[in-house]
Amino acid sequence: MWLAPEEVLVAHALWVTERANPFFVLQRRRGHGKGGGLTGLLVGTLDVVLDSSARVAPYRILHQTQDSQVYWTVACGSCRKEITKHWEWLENNLLQTLSIFDNEEDITTFVKGKIHGIIAEENKNLQPQGDEDPGKFKEAELKMRKQFGMPEGEKLVNYYSCSYWKGRVPRQGWLYLTVNHLCFYSFLLGKEVSLVVQWVDVTRLEKNATLLFPESIRVDTRDKELFFSMFLNISETFKLMEQLANLAMRQLLDSEGFLEDKALPRPIRPHRNISALKRDLDARAKNECYRATFRLPRDERLDGHTGCTLWTPFNKLHNPGQMFISNNYICFASKEEDACHLIIPLREVTIVEKADSSSVLPSPLSISTKSKMTFLFANLKDRDFLVQRISDFLQKTPSKQQGGSLGGRRVSTVDPAPEAKEKAKEEAWDIHFFEYGRGMCMYRTAKTRQLVLKGIPESLRGELWLLFSGAWNEMVTHPGYYTELVEKSMGKYSLATEEIERDLHRSMPEHPAFQNELGIAALRRVLTAYAFRNPTIGYCQAMNIVTSVLLLYGSEEEAFWLLVALCERMLPDYYNTRVVGALVDQGIFEELTRDFLPRLSEKMQDLGVISSISLSWFLTLFLSVMPFESAVVIVDCFFYEGIKVILQVALAVLDANMEQLLDCNDEGEAMTVLGRYLDNVVNKQSISPPIPHLHALLTSGDDPPAEVDIFDLLKVSYEKFSSLRAEDIEQMRFKQRLKVIQSLEDTAKRSVVRAIPGDIGFSIEELEDLYMVFKAKHMASQYWGSSHTAANRRDPSLPSLEQYRIGASQFRELFASLTPWACGSHTPVLAGRMFRLLDQNKDLLINFKEFVTGMSAMYHGDLTEKLKALYKLHLPPALSPEEAESALEATHYFTEDSSSEASPLTSDLDLFLPWEAQEAPPQEEREESGNGDVREKKEEEKGTSPPDYQHYLRMWAKEKEAQKETIKDLPKMNQEQFVELCKTLYNMFSEDAREQDLYHAIATVASLLLRIGEVGKKFSARTRRAHTGDHRGAAEEDGPPTPEPQQDPTRALQPPAAGGAQGKAGGDTHMEKAAQESQAVAEGGSGEGQGSPCQFLSDDETRDDVSVSSYSVVSTSSLQCEDLTDDTVLVGGEARSPMASSRAVGTVDTDWCISFEQILASILTESVLVNFFEKRVDISAKIKDQKKVERQFSTNSDHEQPGVLG
């Protein structure tokens, strides 16, 4: 056992050194074992007399360094075998590592830390795995959260002691594996290493052993290569890392909507028992293996397995193996591969009996089925539990008649010789059924495989395909399901149905069955029903070819369930929108070509042939490239063996054409060679009439290649490449899936970046970096967000640009870290306005293009463009609902002669929502836009109906037209909005180096603009005074009397009595009151005519003056700026002017408003403001900081930053 290192001063007293190296010594206690002489006798006597043998183990290992006289105990053992195991571990894992260190003190520190880590891990594994959290686990999880800033929703799965290689130096520490991240932390010799990797960023995960890294785990991301080694149990660690990385890839693939394993706990659910999370993941892996081995439905859950023996009557033997029990099946797999596989559906069981035990047959159990078969199991440990389980199932299941197996169609014969061979095959299968049983409960042995390889008879093909694929199980447990799907899907239009209609007549047009409407209609129903069942896949090209062959050998319902088995279990992810599964197996094919055909591999890579041929071969199971009667034999083997057969045949085809392929000069020549070969693969045993193959044109030439018998090709493929194992293929699939999905993600990133307009201002590198930051924020919301986050709204059918979207809270976080307009505590408010401005379709989510457009408005363009963006942030729709209520009212009641100016401008960068959509529609349309119908309508337009394309064309045309607008088209800003703009500028300058100069400049500009607004108000009041009587009369006719404005002229003149801080805090309150009063007045009377709006705003304007005054008081108290103080007096003076106090009840003021041109002209008078907005800001540094926070990919102690990744 490993021991906590303790110092030993006299190392050789009473001990004999048996092995030694520069860093460790293995010693045996004198008097133990053979020899020892007189000294050994004395020591042995002392041990016995003093009874110290219980405390002193006979073997130990010491750590030493060459120049030190001090030794440290690191391990002890009660026998040679135990101590030798520890010694070999040290030699294999530490010896080479320690030779790298220069300092002997560092060596000793490292060894002690490593041994302590091993002991801690061993103790952790001894913790009781009960219903409560093991104390060590809970402690480790809390430490992980604190160390890496993880939120409560991130659950620890397991943690391991290991070393992380930084350069050539190992850093001993702890590896934490969470549901979404791989984390490592080490603190050694004053140096700290802290890193976090998201599983979705992992591009490669391998376990390997090299001279430099002894038995290590390699983790690659796009920009780093990480090596971890010196694990106590490297296999367990690697297996768990594989599972977690695989889950992340499934998440990127986004197949959880339909194919998600519901048993896997979602990370957002609180898990009281952390150790249970690892057990759940282990159970998930066992479930997947169990279902794949026995071809069971995806919802089948493994309850447990136990060792037993099965009596096989065909060879009169008791076969040892494992029995697997799940909720609907009992399965058996022999220890010797191919000896026997058995599947017993519990629905088929009639009798379960406990037979009498004997010394020859202990704990026997007899199970009888409806097909009159009896199975005898023995050596069962939990026989009583198993009997009870089956009995409970039988009690719950009503007895019902199962339909008989349906054979395939018999086809008229052409040649008596093939007919004789066909009869021989049928007889062989009849004998096999007699000996091994028929139906689901058939014994599956090596003899079964041999019969399949010789070809399945036409009459049995449909039945055996259903049997071997497991489709029969799903069909009999879902009676009527297909008929119901057909009824539901008939008449439903979608993009899938459009593609199906287009491909129907391309599906085996050479076959008579699909040359009439009867066969076409059946194919249409099967494909449409499946698209309706699984919208994630919908329809993919190649499904029509495979389904048409399935229909030739069974009914529509049987073909449907065979298609389900193919798409969802046997060829996972093959037929989704990105054919990921086929690309994964293409990668496996390339890897196998390197291993088995190294001469050809490099040539094929140069020609680029593999990627061209393998997709069509794999997606259609050779049906599209071989004569039908030959390809169907490969499909026979595929349903029995799985993808292994397809890979073997593909390798055999390349091997058979190796010399010709090596002589090829280009891809086209190689494709011709392979096409001619495959066209001449014949099935001489087929009884079907020969069907002309569409690729037969390739065989035309002077010397057509010789015919190849399909059975000879299969025989060669098994002889040369039969070493392929299903387990190895699954392992390779995982490795390739990482590459393929990350490659697809990179492709999506490039396509999204290309979709960004060229005038956006950012470089390609900056856009790619922004995309990664944006995606990371989306993924974080997917990990820990609520049920209404972007993660749950992700639609894989949308274009790449729409795949990743973020909500308001995620945007606020990104805005705060990336914006050049930092506004301190006001930043979240500004971020909220920017989000509302960018969210054009009002679905509370923005995509990457909208995000980048908002960023570009702040970073690029001239002074006018930046000010325009800032100006729009203080107008609807950017204003919050509370502010907008008043602001919209004011905007709507502007003088009508400026209505032409209300058609607003979108930025030259195609930036913001067209203003027509916000203000131009009449009142009825505005009311209608408030309800949920608009969102549904937009979702429909985004869907797959024909108007979809017209909608996008209209949007594109509208975007192009918007660029013609100028700054004159921007709506004017009322006083409340202007106050908000001033507040933003005030906060924006608070952290600048030239803070005082900027405050002085903005005070001057604000003073000037306030005067301009007041002058405009006076001028408008004079022009309307003559019409006041008429408008008042109109108002009295149309609604209740207008409230008398300013009955107490001094009411508006009371500034806040408190100091500056209180005044600042009250600024928003004043504006809220102003908004409420404006709304109340507007409801009180709705006058007609040009002057009527002014009636509603006199009191409101006065209150606006107070708001400005209070804001100015704040500025004065905090800045002591004379201009700003003067401005305060100015506004106050205007409010108390004789004109204001002598206004008659019937007179009204015009709206206080300011235009964008006036703001722009005023700011241009202050060079310090111009320089501030024209100053170039580099976004790269901000992106780098954001990446560090998001991913914590750092070698520094930056884990103390709060809220990392959360």
Residues with Cβ within 8 Å of residue 949, at least 6 apart in sequence? none
Lowest mean pLDDT among 369-378, 637-646, 1009-1018: 1009-1018
pLDDT in tens, 29-60: 876 665 555 555 554 444 433 433 334 678 88
Q: Which spans in 785-807 are helix H? A: 790-793
Place of tokens 């979602």: 266
Q: How confident is the model over 145-151, as a mean pLDDT? A: 83
* Token code pair at residue 382: 């939990």
Q: In sequence order, what are the residues at sequence separation of 6 or more whose Cβ sits closer than 8 angstroms to the Cβ of residue 370? A: 348, 350, 402
Nearest to 768 by CA among 222, 226, 253, 248: 222
Lowest mean pLDDT among 259-273, 339-353, 632-646: 259-273
Quick one: 387 exposed, middle or buried, by C-beta within 10 A (0-12, 13-18, 19+)? middle
| The token pair that represents 975 in the structure block | 């006083």
> Mean pLDDT lowest for which of 420-434, 512-526, 962-976?
962-976
- Least confidently predicted of 554-563, 573-582, 621-630: 573-582
- Number of H helices and E strands in the chain, helices first, is 49, 24
Q: What is the separation of C-alpha 841 from the centre of its chain, rounded to a whole number of angstroms?
A: 24
Residue 119 contacts residue 112 (beta carbons within 8 Å): no
Contact of 440 with 343, CB cutoff 8 Å: yes
- Give the pLDDT mean for 931-945: 42
| Spatial separation of the C-alpha atoms in residues 90 and 238, rounded to whole Å | 20
Nearest partner of 648 among 442, 449, 447, judged by Cα: 449
CA 435/CA 451 separation, integer angstroms: 14
Helix (H) or strand (E) holding 597: none
Q: Quote the pLDDT of residue 118.
A: 87
What's the alpha-carbon Rg for the chain, to the nearest Å? 39
Task: Give the pLDDT band (50/70/90) at residue 712.
Answer: very high
Q: Which residue in the block uniquely carries the two structure tokens 């049987």?
A: 558
Give the model's pLDDT for residue 212: 65
pLDDT at 296 over 70: yes
Q: Are 871 and 1156 in contact (CB under 8 A)?
A: yes
Specify the pLDDT at position 427: 93
H/E stretch holding 27 reads: strand 24-29
Most confident by average pLDDT, 896-900, 944-948, 1013-1017: 1013-1017
Q: Which residue has the higher pLDDT, 733 or 1096?
A: 733
Separation of alpha carbons 746 and 739, rounded Å: 10
| Cα–Cα distance, 540 to 573 (Å, whole number) | 11
Mean pLDDT across 98-126: 83
Helix or strand run (H / E) with residue 564:
helix 556-565
For 414, the token pair is 């052409």
Answer whether 861's CB lies under 8 Å from 909's CB.
yes
Highest mean pLDDT among 73-77, 163-167, 425-429: 425-429
Per-residue confidence band for 686, with pLDDT thresholds at 50, 70 and 90: confident
Highest mean pLDDT among 287-301, 676-690, 1171-1185: 287-301
Least Cα distance to 1085 among 1099, 1071, 1072, 1073 occurs for: 1099
What is the C-alpha separation between 732 and 585, in angstroms, rounded?
A: 9
Q: What is the mean pLDDT of residues 219-246?
A: 89
Q: Of 167 and 744, which is predicted with more confidence?
A: 744
User: What is the pLDDT confidence band of residue 1029, given thresholds at 50, 70 and 90?
Assistant: low
d(CA 329, CA 386): 12
Q: Write the pLDDT tens digit of every residue in 215-226.
A: 889 999 988 899
DSSP state of 568: I
Structure tokens at 136: 């060590």
Which residue, chain included where needed, has tokens 């594109």?
Answer: 956
Per-residue pLDDT at 1024:
63
Identify the H or E element spanning 502. helix 495-503
Distance from C-alpha of 294 to C-alpha of 288, rounded to nearest angstrom: 10
Give the pLDDT score at 419.
Answer: 79
- pLDDT range class, residue 946, cuts 50, 70, 90: very low
Identify whether the C-beta of residue 908 lies closer than 8 Å to the C-beta of residue 969: no
Closest to 1167 (Cα-Cα) out of 1001, 1033, 1017 = 1001
Rounded to the nearest integer, the mean pLDDT of the chain is: 75
Maximum CA extent, the chain:
131
User: pLDDT value at position 703?
Assistant: 64
Q: Which two tokens stand for residue 364?
A: 């026997």
Coil/strand/helix, residue 77: strand
Q: How many CB atoms are located within 10 Å of the residue 993 CB?
A: 6
pLDDT in tens, 71-103: 888 898 878 888 899 999 888 888 888 888 888
The Cα–Cα gap between 525 and 639 comes to 23
Count of Cβ atoms closer than 10 Å to residue 589 Cβ:
24
* Better pLDDT: 958 or 907: 958
pLDDT score, position 240: 92
| Distances, alpha carbon 1011 to alpha carbons 489, 898, 972, 982, 1070, in Å | 68, 21, 16, 15, 21
Number of other CB atoms surrounding residue 492 within 10 Å: 11
Banded model confidence at residue 1150, pLDDT cuts 50, 70, 90:
very low
**Cα–Cα distance list, 328 to 135, 345, 374 (Å):** 37, 6, 18
Task: Say whether 1060 sits in a helix, a strand or coil.
Answer: helix
Which residue, 550, 552, 555, is CA-closest to 567? 550
> What per-residue confidence (pLDDT) applies to 408?
40
Please compute the mean of the pLDDT values over residues 366-372 and round it to a whole number.
90
3-state secondary structure 133-172: CCHHHHHHHHHHHHHHCCCCCCCEEEEEEEEEEECCEEEE
Q: How many degrees, rounded to 5, is the angle at CA 652 between CA 649 and CA 654?
A: 115
Q: Do the beta carbons of residue 841 and residue 940 sit within 8 Å?
A: no
pLDDT of residue 468: 94
Pairing state of beta strands 681-682 and 365-369? unpaired
Q: Which of helix, strand or coil describes residue 961?
A: helix
Q: Residue 80: exposed, middle, or buried by beta-carbon count in 10 A (0-12, 13-18, 19+)? A: middle
Q: Which amino acid is at 1028?
A: T
Which pLDDT band holds residue 172 (cuts at 50, 70, 90)?
A: confident
Question: Over the stretch 837-893, which tens digit does the pLDDT of each residue have?
Answer: 998 888 889 989 889 999 998 888 888 988 999 998 988 888 765 654 444 443 343
Q: Where residue 651 falls among pLDDT bands split at 50, 70, 90? A: very high
One-letter amino acid of 63: H
Judging by DSSP bridges, how do beta strands 1193-1194 and 156-166 pair with one another?
unpaired
Please give the Cα distance from 10 to 71 (Å, whole number): 8
Pairwise CA distance, residues 409 & 416, whole Å: 19
- What length does the chain have? 1206
Rounded mean pLDDT, 226-241:
89
Q: Which three-class secondary structure string do you get for 819-866? A: CCCCCHHHHHHHHHHHHHHHCCCCCCCECHHHHHHHHHHHHCCCHHHH
pLDDT category of residue 8 using cuts at 50, 70 and 90? confident
User: So what's the pLDDT on residue 883?
Assistant: 57
Structural tokens at position 848: 């990457």
Query: Lowest-pLDDT range, 155-164, 187-196, 655-664, 896-905?
Result: 896-905
Taking the CA of residue 445 as centre, how many other CA atoms within 13 Å lie in the half-sphere pointing to its CB? Answer: 15
Cα angle vertex 450, ends 447, 453, to 5°? Answer: 155
pLDDT attached to residue 361: 83
Q: Decide if 1083 contacts 1100 (C-beta within 8 A).
A: no
Question: In the prediction, which pLDDT does 450 show?
Answer: 92
State the CB neighbour count (10 A cutoff) for residue 51: 8
Q: What pLDDT sits at residue 650?
A: 94
* Structure confidence at residue 1033 as a pLDDT band (50, 70, 90): very low
State the pLDDT at residue 1109.
35
In three-state secondary structure terms, 318 is strand
Please give the residue that has the higher pLDDT: either 342 or 1148.
Answer: 342
**pTM of the model as a whole:** 0.71
Using pLDDT thresholds of 50, 70 and 90, give the confidence band for residue 668: confident
Average pLDDT over residues 665-690: 85
Indicate if the pLDDT at residue 277 is higher than 90.
no
Q: Name residue 72's beta-bridge partners.
A: 7, 63
C-beta separation of 376 from 311 below 8 A: yes
Which range among 13-17, 744-748, 1196-1200 has the greatest average pLDDT? 744-748
Mean pLDDT of 809-832: 89
Task: Give the least confident one: 65-74, 256-265, 862-871.
Answer: 256-265
